[in-house]
Amino acid sequence: MMNASVSRFFGVIFGLCCLISISVHSNTLKSLDIFDIEYASDLVISSDGDTVYFVRHYMDIQSDRKLGNIWSVNTKTKQMLPVTTGDHLDYAPALSPSGDRLAYISTRTGKPQIFVTWLSSGKTAKLTNLSSAPSNLVWSPNGNSIAFSMFVSESKPAPVSLSGKPKDAKWADAPIYIDDVYYRRDGGGYTEKGSTELFLLSSQGGTPRQLTQDEFNNGGAVSWGKDSKTLYFSANRGENREFTPLGRDIFKLTIDDGVITQLTDRVGPDSNPKVSPNGKYIAYLGFDDKRANYHNNLLHIMDIDGNNKRILSADLDRSIDAIEWSDDAKNLYIQYDDFGHTLLAKQSISGSNKRSVLSKQLGGQSYGRPYTSAEFSVSAKGNLAITYSDPSRPADVAVVTNQKTTILTQLNEDALAHKTLAKIEEIRFPSSADGKEIQGWIAYPPNFDKTKRYPLILEIHGGPVTAYGPHFSMEIQLLAAPGNVVVYINPRGSSSYGQAFAREIDKNYPSKDHDDLMTAVDVLIEKGFIDPNKLFITGGSGGGVLTAWAIGQTDRFAAAVVAKPVINWFSFVLTADSYPFFYQYWFDKKPWEDIDGYMKFSPISYVGNVTTPTLLLTGEADYRTPISETEQYYQALKIQGVETAMVRIPDASHGIYRKPSNLMAKVEYILWWFEQHSQQQDVK
């Protein structure tokens, strides 16, 4: 029998332990916390630089959707005010040239429509009653009109219609007849016949006028001429446009007579035209198409009539993602990725060597996985707003003044400040393949103790030419939260390290990128805090390819989760939505002309080596890496007698994270599978 004081002592200790475990428990991130995440996008800074308008996204737990409203934040006081409110999505704000009105798209009445709010009175008008979703709203310089893009469907009767159906009879739905090259789009489903065209809307509302009428997709980002009478746009208007997917050029449209004039014509894409504020030049992005897996998108300018084309970023071995003019038309602001970070720089138009980096802290918009993803906005006075990246927070709004970044919003302090998050640390190491330097990041679990031994999860990005970075990621955080060290790297083939690094895997994927990944695992093991019997591997899309590839080469992993993979390049190229691109830019030949070449790089060819217990996880409506890839691997693993299971996510596209509950399910399945196999290692 325990005496009273001993029992009281143990009672106190027990109570304390409970308290500790409860507090540790509640301070660690849980998958349900995905619903508490907010982030900023669609930034517009006012011409005086005093206000930034932005979309404040939030996750609606009832409808399981990402919604958002437009807010403003004062750049001096940091005071935030709502411009719109309600459980719907308001997005794509565009400030009128005089700054008195904000146009935007809203789903508040059901289908997306264009709205305008008068900022001084707060009065709002719905300007349109459109049958399809508008996009790319741009005010004319005189403030009288708004140009936008919209899909126009072409109703064509099916070639066969059945007769003889008795009145009130219930027959099967009519078959779907398809003869388009692009007949389904990931995230958009099976497509209607039609094209995306340019429209003009009076800023007072009314009936929009369709400006382009032909069979080409003329919609997309547009830029107004200074006279408010011309529009500049980028489109693929070539003969064989479906099979020349990078064949975009820049065109001028004269609004009065509808005449379209071609301004660029090289072999390779020219896009993102931006007319300079003085109306003299067009800045744009483009490259000479070498049929490679990756090309740097270079900054160009030309005179407004298309003459005198020149490259401004030839000396910068990076891809430019976004451009804006300075008001004096002497400089351009450019955004590009560099070593997993996103940079904002100012570039003189007078010489390519005149470039200065203003901020290296852009990002935060890819809250699922830590991809680079960012935006900026520049005012007439040169004030700069960015989406700010912090490894522990999704995108906030910040301003950049004299190369100093000031954060204006704290959209996630309520949800995340009281949580113990994984700390992110950069690593660089020489690859075992050839000594090439590889960059990556380690996520240390909450309360990490380097004297203990932890399971290791290698998480691999897709693309394959994309980049991870030290950006907030719900997936990485949730994988680390229960006590796993997570490592993620940018193997060769990733973007943000220059063209040659990305082309290391040109027509050669997977290859040494696999060695880079395995070296990362070795580097972590050498640190002494990893249990070498508890190595786990996962990745999505291109990361799913590399995960399936790795388990065909090694049995070092205790378990694998292969998400939305390509398993067989032959079948992928013949079922993926963007097949005209994939067979020409990822391979040298058509699949039937080089069966061995396709199969050499296909994980299915090595399934006979696999012993690793493998979970597969894919959206049933994924048209990028269709679920038939997953099914092939599942059935092959079953034939081989390898422990496997398949998680099919109903209605989910390639972007599984788009529904918060699907992101929860993805992470929970990965953790569950690894936990099962971690316990098996304990028993061994």
Ligand X SMILES: CC(=O)N[C@@H](C)C(=O)N[C@@H](C)C(=O)O
453 vs 658 by CB, closer to ligand X = 658
Q: Which is nearer to ligand X, 269 or 462 (CB)?
A: 462
3-state secondary structure (DSSP) of residue 516: helix
Smallest distance from the beta carbon of 187 to ligand X, in angstroms?
11
Instruction: Name the nearest CA neighbour of 105 among 51, 59, 146.
Output: 146
Which of 454, 598 has the CB closer to ligand X? 598
* Strand pairing category for 644-649 and 614-619: parallel
Angle between helices 542-553 and 512-526 (to 10 degrees): 70
504 in the Ramachandran plot: left (φ > 0), alpha (ψ -120 to 50) or beta? alpha
240 within 8 A of 246, measured Cβ to Cβ: no
For 342, the 3-state DSSP assignment is strand
Q: Tokens representing 92?
A: 């794509």
Q: Is 415 exposed, middle or buried (0-12, 13-18, 19+ CB in 10 A)?
A: middle
- Extract the runs of DSSP E, i.e. beta strands, from 544-661: 559-563, 614-619, 644-649
Q: Which of 138, 155, 159, 156 is nearest to 147 (CA)?
A: 138
Of 223 and 618, the one with the shorter C-beta distance to ligand X is 618
Q: Which is nearer to ligand X, 300 or 369 (CB)?
A: 369
User: How far is it, in rounded angstroms, from Cα 55 to Cα 57?
Assistant: 6
**Which CB, 251 or 497, lies closer to ligand X?**
497
Choose between 363 and 446: whose C-beta lies nearer to ligand X.
Answer: 363
Please enumerate in sequence order all residues whose Cβ is within 8 A of that of 246, keeping only pairs 6 or more positions apart, or say none: 268, 269, 289, 581, 585
Nearest approach, Cβ of residue 624 and ligand X (Å) = 5
Report the nearest approach of ligand X to the CB of residue 129 (Å).
Answer: 35
Tell me which residue has its CB nearest to ligand X: 462
CB of 664 vs ligand X, minimal distance in Å: 18
Positions in the binding site for ligand X (CB under 6 A): 462-463, 466, 540-542, 624-625, 654
Of 463 and 603, CB closest to ligand X = 463
Residue 642 Cβ vs ligand X, minimum distance, rounded to whole Å = 24
Least distance in Å: CB of 135 to ligand X? Answer: 20
Q: Specify the residue, 355 or 471, whose C-beta has the smaller distance to ligand X.
A: 471
C-alpha–C-alpha distance, residues 601 and 594, integer Å: 12
Q: State the burial class of residue 648 (Cβ atoms within 10 Å of its Cβ: 0-12, 13-18, 19+).
A: middle
To ligand X, the closest distance from the beta carbon of 176 in angstroms equals 25
* Nearest approach, Cβ of residue 625 and ligand X (Å): 5
Which CB, 72 or 541, lies closer to ligand X?
541
Task: Supply the minimum distance, in Å, between the C-beta of residue 465 and ligand X.
Answer: 8
Please list, in sequence order, all residues whose beta carbon lies within 8 angstroms of the beta carbon of residue 554, skipping any fewer than 6 positions away.
Answer: 518
Nearer Cβ to ligand X, position 224 or 501?
501
Q: Cα angle vertex 645, ends 643, 646, to 5°?
A: 150
Minimum CB–partner distance for residue 519 and ligand X (Å): 21
CB of 629 to ligand X, least distance (A): 10
Q: Report the alpha-carbon distance of residue 165 to residue 145 in Å, rounded.
A: 50
Across the beta sheet with 298-303, what order do the strands follow? 270-275, 281-286, 298-303, 310-311
Amino acid occupying residue 437? E
Residues with Cβ within 8 Å of residue 259, at least 6 apart in sequence: 253
Residue 148 or 582 having the CB closest to ligand X: 582
Rg (CA), the chain: 27
Taking the complex as a whole, the smallest distance from the CB of residue 37 to ligand X amounts, in Å, to 18
